[in-house]
Amino acid sequence: MSNHPEKQAYSSPEQAARIYLLPNLFTAGNMLCGFLAIKNCIEARFTNLSPDERADHYLWAVWFILGACLCDLFDGRVARATRRESLFGAEFDSIADTVSFGVAPALMACFLIINPGSTDQADEHVQLATWLLAFIYLLCVGVRLARFNVLTNPLVPGNEKRAAGGDFVGLPSPAAAGMMASLVLVLTKVMRNTNQSDPFEKTVPGWSWSLLPLMLIISYLMISNVRFPSFKNLDWTARAKTRVFILIIILGAILIRYPAYSFPALFLGYIVWSIFRHLFLLKKSEIDPAPEDDDEVVPRM
């Protein structure tokens, strides 16, 4: 779920741990997608597959990660719309996010960087550095999710005011995983299609090194104090609903028709626009780059 419930206290542990079916089905779907993404990455790495079959497994892993993003988009909104928020739902969501947006993208990046399925493996030191960097990414996902739970906990003073701003503190883990997955989509699909004379195993690993700096940048952004908009405060008047609905239809059509280009553009655009927006607001003194309230709860790496 995206938010903790509004209740400040519960009459019993059973009430706090109540499981509401509909929103938690979306969270379970999120976890299932993450599990299936990991499964496809492992099969692509350790089973005897042709280059095309290996590429297809990575593509399926990408789609499952993006499917997890979609489930995560709806679980909190469904919980709030049906007034079925709970402490259980918030914790369950964080666990599912760790699997889908932490473990799955980290494994996928590692397997691509160390030249999966090929007889020419990366140097042992390179492999060690790659696994270490992947763990740093996973660690930052865990820190980001734990910090989010603290910053949205209604028992922490000042959280109501912070939540009213409609911004996330640090890059949300679904957007981080989506950026990673969309780049892998480019590596496994576009590069293969534009280099028909080169086998998948020779084409992709050379480009996959771009995942290393991307993981570093994304890891930092997740634990930073940069404000990323949550779009929870969109204008939902009757007139605005029509415009938003039309934009969603157009965006959906573009994503379906040109996925290899539109998904990277979507996630990269969100990240870059959010950073420039944050810098602009800092310049205008509309936000504090290091709020005192955050000093007590933002983990220092």
58 in a structural domain: yes
Work out the average pLDDT over 53-60: 89
pTM: predicted TM-score of the whole model, two decimal places? 0.83
pLDDT at 2: 53
Which three-class secondary structure state does DSSP give residue 62?
helix
Which three-class secondary structure state does DSSP give residue 227?
strand
pLDDT at 53: 84
1 in a structural domain: no
pLDDT at 163: 53
Domains held by the chain: number: 1
245 in a structural domain: yes
Q: Could you tell me which residues come within 8 angstroms of residue 14 by beta carbon, excluding any fewer than 6 positions away?
A: none
What string of DSSP letters covers 161-204? HHHHT-EEES--HHHHHHHHHHHHHIIIIIHHHH-TTS-HHHHH
pLDDT at 33: 98
What string of DSSP letters covers 95-139? HHHHIIIIIHHHHHHHHHHT-TT-SSPPPHHHHHHHHHHHHHHHH
169 in a structural domain: yes
Binning pLDDT at 50, 70 and 90, where does residue 292 land? very low
pLDDT at 125 over 60: yes
CA 197, CA 215: separation in Å to the nearest integer? 30
CA 19, CA 23: separation in Å to the nearest integer? 9
Greater model confidence, 23 or 287: 23
Binning pLDDT at 50, 70 and 90, where does residue 42 land? very high
- Mean pLDDT lowest among 37-46, 211-220, 235-244: 235-244
- Mean pLDDT lowest among 34-43, 165-174, 242-251: 242-251
pLDDT at 6 over 50: no
Instruction: Quote the tokens at residue 249.
Output: 């239809």
Alpha carbon distances (Å) from 202 to 43, 108, 118, 130, 261: 19, 17, 9, 19, 22
Which residues face 168 on adjacent strands? 228
Binning pLDDT at 50, 70 and 90, where does residue 86 land? confident
7 in a structural domain: no
DSSP 300: P
pLDDT at 133 over 60: yes
pLDDT at 149: 87
- Cβ atoms < 10 Å from Cβ of 142: 16
pLDDT at 286 over 60: no
Could you tell me the residue range of the domain that residue 96 belongs to? 13-295
Binning pLDDT at 50, 70 and 90, where does residue 7 land? very low
The pLDDT mean for the chain works out to 80
8 in a structural domain: no
pLDDT at 215: 92
6 in a structural domain: no
